[in-house]
């Protein structure tokens, strides 16, 4: 049975179902990160074996093995990666990426540049990530815990309108997207590019979608980030009629529905415990998601009014 080596230091993250863990290690004199992916076994969710699903188990390894991002713009993976596969799973060893304290405007600009990277012709890119996530949420009854909070009415309106907003995303230009561009994953910097980690959700999505995901953890406000994203777009996208509206719409829909779903997930985990639900909004496992949701209030209003 595979086990991490003595002396490896576990790192936060690795929340994907197939990720057993992430560690900092040293190979020779070089610091590296090591990620272990577990091969699906009978009884695991079928989505782990679906190459088009965001939860596909081996996509991070496929990114490293294929070299499809060798000429990407804006975002790029670590220079060196080693992939070792065995009967139980895959071990990925990457160059260690030092935290360069990338600010939000630089990251948003990089996301815009990355959106212009040609989409590689491979069958394992994630597709319709938000639709798949909302479908998973639907199997759990939607957002029932939020229905017991002060955002109940807004959540109900948006849940009922989800198919309309997903159709809006379908009508936007499709671009390459990282899929999980949090500040924790946009760590390094090399010239004008961000060195990003955790490529397990690389795929295609609506223009502005990656910006919507990034917005949930960013310190900066939406409009400056949108401006930076638009400045990063290549001419083929930047010259689209009403590109600001298109990218802004993609970002708003992704940000709002992701923020609501994350708040539901966090609150539902602590709801069964003793005490009133509203008091649990300040629970340390819930409060960051509630603050993120509160920051999106203007975007929520825009979707509800629109």
The three-class DSSP label of residue 95 is strand
Return d(Cα 111, Cα 251) in angstroms, integer.
12
Whether 3 maps to a domain, the answer reads no
Q: pTM here?
A: 0.95
CA atoms within 13 A on the CB side of 3: 4
Are residues 115 and 239 located together in one domain of the fold? yes
Are residues 165 and 227 located together in one domain of the fold? yes
User: Last residue of a domain, which of 68, 95, 122?
Assistant: 95
Are residues 83 and 129 located together in one domain of the fold? no
Are residues 225 and 85 located together in one domain of the fold? no
Are residues 34 and 117 located together in one domain of the fold? no
Are residues 151 and 225 located together in one domain of the fold? yes
Residue 89 contacts by C-beta under 8 Å, 6 or more apart in sequence? 2, 18, 20, 36, 37, 38, 39
- Per-residue confidence (pLDDT) for residue 14, from 0 to 100: 67
Task: Give me the residue label for tokens 């990530």.
Answer: 129
157's enclosing H/E stretch is helix 152-160
Return d(Cα 225, Cα 102) in angstroms, integer.
13
Whether 228 maps to a domain, the answer reads yes
- Per-residue confidence (pLDDT) for residue 50, from 0 to 100: 97
Whether 2 maps to a domain, the answer reads no
Tokens linked to 194: 């961000």
- What is the rounded end-to-end Cα distance, in angstroms, of the chain? 54
Q: What CATH number does the domain containing 149 carry?
A: 3.90.1200.10
Whether 86 maps to a domain, the answer reads yes
Return d(Cα 86, Cα 67) in angstroms, integer.
21
From first to last of its 306 residues, the chain has per-residue pLDDT tens of 899 999 999 998 767 788 999 999 999 889 999 999 999 999 999 999 999 999 999 999 999 999 999 999 999 999 999 999 999 999 999 999 999 999 999 999 999 999 999 999 999 999 999 999 999 999 999 999 999 999 999 999 999 999 999 999 999 999 999 999 999 999 999 999 999 999 999 999 999 999 999 999 999 999 999 999 999 999 999 999 999 999 999 999 999 999 999 999 999 999 998 888 988 899 999 999 999 999 999 999 999 987
Whether 151 maps to a domain, the answer reads yes
Whether 51 maps to a domain, the answer reads yes
Tokens linked to 217: 């953890």
E-only strand ranges, 30-179 = 30-38, 75-76, 81-85, 89-95, 174-177
Are residues 154 and 241 located together in one domain of the fold? yes
Domain containing residue 69:
9-95
Are residues 199 and 239 located together in one domain of the fold? yes
The three-class DSSP label of residue 100 is coil
Whether 4 maps to a domain, the answer reads no
Tokens linked to 37: 């992916």
Q: Are 72 and 55 in contact, with CB atoms under 8 Å apart?
A: no
Task: Give me the residue label for tokens 């496929």.
Answer: 62
Return d(Cα 22, Cα 79) in angstroms, integer.
18
Number of H helices, E strands in the chain: 11, 10
């Amino acid at each position: 049975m595979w086990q991490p080596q003595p002396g490896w230091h576990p790192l936060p993250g690795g929340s994907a179902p197939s990720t057993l863990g992430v560690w900092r290690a040293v190979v020779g004199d070089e610091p590296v990160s090591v990620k272990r992916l577990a091969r699906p076994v009978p009884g695991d969710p079928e989505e782990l074996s679906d190459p088009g699903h965001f939860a596909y188990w081996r996509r991070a390894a496929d990114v490293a093995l294929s070299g499809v991002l060798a000429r990407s713009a804006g975002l790029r993976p670590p220079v060196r990666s080693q992939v070792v596969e065995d009967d139980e799973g895959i071990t990925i060893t990457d160059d260690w990426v030092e935290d360069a304290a990338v600010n939000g405007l630089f990251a948003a600009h990089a996301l815009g540049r990355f959106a212009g990277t040609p989409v590689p012709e491979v069958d394992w890119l994630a597709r319709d990530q938000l639709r798949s996530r909302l479908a998973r949420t639907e199997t759990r009854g939607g957002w029932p815990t939020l229905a017991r909070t002060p955002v109940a009415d807004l959540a109900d309106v948006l849940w009922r309108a989800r198919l309309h907003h997903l159709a809006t995303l379908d009508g936007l230009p499709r671009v390459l997207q990282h899929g999980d561009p949090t500040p924790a994953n946009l760590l390094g910097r090399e010239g004008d590019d961000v060195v990003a980690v955790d490529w397990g959700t690389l795929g295609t999505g609506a223009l502005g979608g990656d910006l919507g995901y990034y917005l949930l953890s960013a310190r900066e406000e939406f409009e400056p980030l949108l401006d930076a994203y638009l400045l990063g777009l290549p001419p083929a996208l930047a010259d689209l009629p009403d590109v600001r509206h298109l990218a802004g719409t993609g970002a708003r829909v992704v940000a709002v529905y992701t923020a609501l779903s994350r708040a539901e997930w966090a609150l539902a985990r602590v709801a069964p415990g003793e005490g009133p639900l509203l008091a649990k909004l300040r629970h340390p496992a819930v409060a960051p998601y509630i603050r993120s949701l509160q920051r999106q209030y203007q975007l929520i209003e825009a979707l509800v009014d629109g």
